[in-house]
Amino acid sequence: MFRLGSQLVRRSQLNTRPFSSPVSTIDHNSLNAWIAEPKHLHLTDTMHPERLSDLYSTIPSRDGSRKPFVEPKRNGALPPGFEIAYFHFRTPEAELRPDGTDGEFRPPEPFSRRMWASGKMTWDPNNPLLIGERATATWTVDSIQKKAFDKGNPMLFVNKKIQYTMDTRATPSLVEERVHVYLLDAQAPNRTPRKAKDLPTTSDFSFSYTPSLTTLFRFSAIMWNAHHIHLDKDYAVEREGYPERIVQGPLTSLMLLETVADHDPKLHIRSFEYRAINPLLVGRSHTIHGKYSENRDSVQLWCVDSGGIVGMTGKADLV
């Protein structure tokens, strides 16, 4: 018996739920109605330097272990990717999904499992988010794609668009897209590693680190993220079919950006795209590689674990 969220669960309860694909349980009328309905939400937050300092202390590029710790300064520009520390859904625990994720913009049952698939960020270089300022994140659903429904392995790709606008400005400082994929609760997982295509054979710079259980706990706490695959080994193994707890996708995407900043703090990123290729496991060494384009106006990025698995790829366009 072990604790899952606030509930005690017997291991036998998990083992008696074999992975299958109950496609017949999908109510297509309800699903289509959910897809068609408008979806938007406004979240306000003040980008306090103290919370940003918590995130600095969590990640290896800024925690003081490799170079002196630098406190974030009020009215300074928020570094790329660090908006993840703010603008959270404050969902009551009773309203979280079975996997611990928030319920906002969620498809109807039985699509109850969520994975972070990809994303894109575009910054206004003349209008940065400023530390200490109050801002609003306007969430909308840009698109929803059905995939593999005809193959008995239905997935929903939900593209969530977020515009971050400071109270003192009329236009967004940052436009972000987050693509989540939703799966059926009992869907059979495919854990065969996928190959990343068209990666460079050499890199111009790299950054290595090992995300620990403490890293995952602190990052989840800062994000207000209770997804069980990051925190509960029994859940990750027995319910999701992973060999260990999984490193958060946004943590790896942030570290892709941080690898660029750590290599050359003078570089300015205009836009950034990333895609999750394979799950990355806690406790394994990760190395992020960077390769400049021929005219050095962009950087190709990829993260490889100690077993040679490519977990995430990305591209940063430079100003």
What's the confidence (pLDDT) of residue 112? 85
**Residue entry with tokens 């890293």:** 215
What's the confidence (pLDDT) of residue 22? 56
CA–CA gap between residue 305 and residue 282 (Å, rounded): 10
**SS percent in the chain: helix, strand, coil, step 5:** 20, 35, 45
AA identity, residue 291 = K
pLDDT tens for each residue of 78-131 = 999 999 999 999 999 999 988 999 978 889 989 989 999 999 999 999 999 999
What's the confidence (pLDDT) of residue 189? 66
pLDDT tens for each residue of 151-202 = 888 999 999 999 999 999 999 999 999 999 999 876 666 778 999 999 999 9
**Phi-psi bin for 92: left (phi > 0), alpha (psi -120 to 50), beta?**
beta
**Residue entry with tokens 């490519």:** 310
Interior/surface letters 133-143, b for 16+ CB within 10 angstroms, e for the rest:
bebebbbebee
AA identity, residue 257 = L
pLDDT at 14 over 90: no
Beta-bridged to residue 312, according to DSSP, are 276, 303
134-142 average pLDDT score: 97
pLDDT at 3 over 90: no
Six token digits for residue 313: 């790829």
Taking the CA atoms of residue 45, residue 105, residue 314 and residue 88 in that order, the dihedral angle to the nearest 10 degrees is 20
What's the confidence (pLDDT) of residue 155? 94
pLDDT tens for each residue of 263-311 = 999 999 999 999 999 999 999 999 999 999 999 999 999 999 999 999 9
What's the confidence (pLDDT) of residue 15? 40
pLDDT at 20 over 90: no
Coil/strand/helix, residue 48 = coil
> Under a CB-based contact definition with an 8 Å cutoff, are residues 277 and 312 in contact?
yes
Sign, Cα dihedral of 230, 194, 160, 262: positive
pLDDT at 1 over 80: no
What's the confidence (pLDDT) of residue 192? 87
pLDDT at 23 over 80: no
What's the confidence (pLDDT) of residue 18? 44
What's the confidence (pLDDT) of residue 185? 77
Whole-model pTM: value is 0.90
pLDDT tens for each residue of 241-271 = 899 999 999 999 999 999 999 999 999 999 9
Domain 2-318 class? alpha beta
pLDDT tens for each residue of 39-84 = 999 999 999 999 999 999 999 999 999 999 999 999 999 999 999 9
> Which residue, 115, 288, 282, is CA-closest to 214?
282
What's the confidence (pLDDT) of residue 152? 85
Instruction: For 24-91, give the secondary structure using H, E and C.
Output: HHCCHHHHHHHHHCCCEEEEEEECCHHHHHHHHCCCCCCCCCCCCCCCCCCCCECCCCHHHHCCCCCC
